[in-house]
Chain A
Amino acid sequence: MPKRPKMYGLLAEYETPAALYKACERVRDAGYGAWDAHTPFPVHGLEKAMGIGPSLVPWIVCVLGFSGAALGFGLQYWTSVIEYPLIISGKPFNSYPAFVPVTFELGILLGSFGAVFGMFGLNRLPTLYHSLFNSKRFARFSDDRFFISIEARDPKYDPDKTRKLLESTGAVAVEEVED
């Protein structure tokens, strides 16, 4: 956001996943970009209704997982062959079969870091302060309500038109949220 407008945007509340799903399709088709849905649990297929592409997390995991494995093998090779070549149990310096477990574990470890911290990064978490939390109503997103928020920074955003759109989608409530 270059400059924060006074209003964050509009927040519409729905009561069922079905209503939300339908509303999301409408908002998507209306061509909005800076909007989001908020649900207590992942609603199956909602990303399609919202037109969200696939997640980038798998790529991060792939890259980090393989670099973890490479790092793991590299560490063992470097320490056992280059840095301190030491004959242990008459095995060759590069006893690669014995290096498999640690290589594997480090691959998994970095892959998991990629999954978790990659997800945090893509989601910009933690975001302890968020304008949506200004809405009293919004607290129910984590319980049993479903929300759509459309941000004021969206070029198509127009307080009245957008509100009308949201109201026409069967929202039980539509309110403006301060930034």
Chain B
Amino acid sequence: MSHYIPPTHEHDIDPVDGRMALVQGQPTFHEITEAVAKPIDSPPKAWWIFFLVSVSMLGLFGLSVAYLLWEGVGIWGNNIPVGWGWPIVNFVFWVGIGHAGTLISAVLFLFRQKWRTSINRASEAMTIFAVICALMFPTIHVGRVWVIYWPLPLPNQMQMWPNFRSPLLWDVFAVSTYFTVSLLFWYVGLIPDIATMRDRAKTAIRRFAYGVFALGWRGSARHWVNYEAAYLLLAAMATPLVLSVHSIVSFDFAVSQLPGWHTTIFPPYFVAGAIFSGFGMVLTLMIPLRKWFHLEHIIGIKHLENMAKVILLTGTLVGYAYGMEFFIAWYSGNPYETFVFANRALGDYAWAYWIMVSCNVITPQFIWFKKIRRSPAALFILSIFVNIGMWFERFVIVATSLHHDFLPSSWAYFSPTMWDWATMLGSFGLFFTLFCLFVRFLPIIAVAEVKAVMPQANPHYHPPGHEDPDLTSSASGTVQSRDDHAAVKTAVTSGEESSKVVVSKASEPDDEDEDEDDEDEPDTKDEPIVADEPEPEAKAAPEPEPEAKAEDAKQEAAADDDDDAADEPEDKPLFSKDPADKPLFSKDPADKPLFSPPSAKKDDKADDGDDEGKED
């Protein structure tokens, strides 16, 4: 869409193809609000089904934890030599899942990856819920849940302090800090959107509930300054944090002196695996969600594709780590290390090992194919395999390293009990219940952030129609240069219309030279600008500049309008939405249906009312 790209913002070009707009179909700000808020007002049926299934699984979790407290850890399959059975497998699995959210929020924020805005809210929520699930497992694994506060450095009658030299204690600090910071990050991002929900709430209860959590947010520019500083700093702090957390989780293993665990590659290997599994889970959640909640235009194919690429990268890193472990086992000449790895691939748990390798190393390789990584259905299936594979990775690490220890007489084969299964399935119930509640009551898209990356959010982005000298002069060099560059007309039009028109105008260069350049060399650096603007153009092109505007406009503006009209036939093939022209500009066939129907739109365009019909 209309992505008007001022020259100073060249780096904002989309990382994937540098052309497609982040939000498709040129919605207005209001339409974004409505698209996100609608499922909250009336959830789809699928939600109820999903919620009931999740809650019953949560019940299973409650049951198994209650029985665990009653009976003790003996109900699980953990026993010497495999003292860390499924609880720790599940812990590491969930912590890994919990990494994508902050990665998307913080790391991509720092790298100015604007596509994050569509998915960051839901993946942050996923992070928080996954970390809650993760924290459950060590908590119930200690056996005496009621003294779980002991790892905290609180003054106590024992005059004891935690052992700060233990990686398990680092874990307590790392995971709880991670949880707290993720929660704060998530909540800070939510405040403006909760205010949006508050302001459109119909019932008193909703107004009160959203009102409390919106903290009286009133979008003040003075507040935004502090808000953005805080958000940036949170991102800056969460980035090293997210890397530290899974490194520390890997220290739980790597710092012990057990062949198969005692490896320096563990921290990066775990971090890559965590991002891999986290993005896998994000895809698993987002692909159905965008469909059920009709958010395909906000969470576009491009977003899925970008995530798929991250999965490909991290999956390959994980595959490299698998290979390197074997190399080191051989190269070290350490017989114990060699044995553990031979045992891993060929021993009792070979089945688990090969499930892990096929899911984690082979599955992502399909993403090399563009068709696959742009197909939501294919990605959904791949993401399920990623989830399975990463669970097995944790299982392989825990079980194969422990079940054959140094004393052959104590060798054993770990197998889970019914309660292991119940607790694991139950943790999925906890996760999905929380997630269901989240999508039911909170905006799953960061509304304010999505609006901010839309082209019309740029204060130097002006509707076509007439030039406003005041504006041009006042708005510093940026405007000037932009005008030079893209030959944008500025005009103050009114209402949503303006945003529409704006777009068109920006692209609709009155300077014929520019246009011609584009036409001649569609692949030059200018292309993004042109390519971004097909729809708007399509809309704008047929639009006769409204009389009212023309009146307001200065003389030159009027002249420009005339020019535009004159240019129209030329421009049309360039920007038109007509199917025939498509190949030229439309990069993404999949997105096509999302665009507003071209011809009807065009006609509407002239009227003010055109916006209403368009998105929904």
Contact = CB atoms under 8 A, between A and B. Distances in A.
Given A42-B228, A88-B163, 13 more contacts: A16-B463, A16-B502, A18-B461, A38-B220, A43-B452, A47-B224, A48-B476, A75-B153, A76-B164, A102-B173, A109-B177, A116-B187, A127-B218
A38 B219 contact: yes
Interface residues of A, number: 80
Contact of A55 (B226, B448, B495): B226
A91 B255 CA distance: 14
7 contacts: A16-B502, A21-B460, A24-B221, A43-B457, A108-B181, A112-B238, A143-B199
Interface string B427-463: 0000000000000000000011101100011111111
Contact of B494 (A48, A52, A115, A172): A172
A108 B248 CA distance: 15
A18 B28 contact: no
B327 to A, nearest CB: 28
Contacts of B244: 101, 104-105, 108
A45 B459 contact: yes
**A-B pairs, 6 with minimum CB distance:** A144-B29, A126-B215, A21-B459, A79-B161, A55-B229, A119-B230
Contacts of A133: 216, 218
B165 A142 contact: no
A101 B539 CA distance: 57
B458 to A, nearest CB: 6
Interface string A34-51: 001111111111111110
Contacts of B159: 83-84
A17 B459 contact: yes
Specify the main secondary structure of chain A where it touches its partner.
Answer: helix
A102 B475 CA distance: 48
B466 to A, nearest CB: 13
Specify the main secondary structure of chain B where it touches its partner.
Answer: helix
Contacts of B167: 101
Nearest to A95: B165
Which of A17, A24, A43 has the most B CB atoms < 10 Å from its CB?
A: A17
Contact of B199 (A20, A54, A139, A170): A139
Interface residues of B, number: 86
A141 B229 contact: no
B498 interface: yes
Interface in A87-138: 88-89, 91, 95, 98-99, 101-102, 104-106, 108-109, 111-113, 115-116, 118-120, 122-123, 125-130, 132-133, 138
A56 B226 contact: yes
Interface of A: 15-22, 24-25, 36-50, 52, 54-58, 61, 65, 75-76, 79-80, 83-84, 88-89, 91, 95, 98-99, 101-102, 104-106, 108-109, 111-113, 115-116, 118-120, 122-123, 125-130, 132-133, 138-144, 147, 170, 172
Which of B29, B153, B164, B478 has the most A CB atoms < 10 Å from its CB?
A: B164
Which of A76, A113, A116 has the most B CB atoms < 10 Å from its CB?
A: A116
A170 B492 contact: yes
Interface of B: 28-30, 33, 153, 159-165, 167, 169-170, 173-174, 177, 180-181, 184-185, 187-188, 191-192, 195-196, 198-200, 211-212, 215-230, 233-234, 237-238, 240-241, 244, 248, 251, 447-449, 451-452, 456-463, 468, 470-471, 474-476, 478, 490, 492, 494-496, 498-499, 502
Nearest to A48: B476
B457 A102 contact: no
Contact of A116 (B177, B200, B230, B496): B230
Contacts of B241: 105, 108
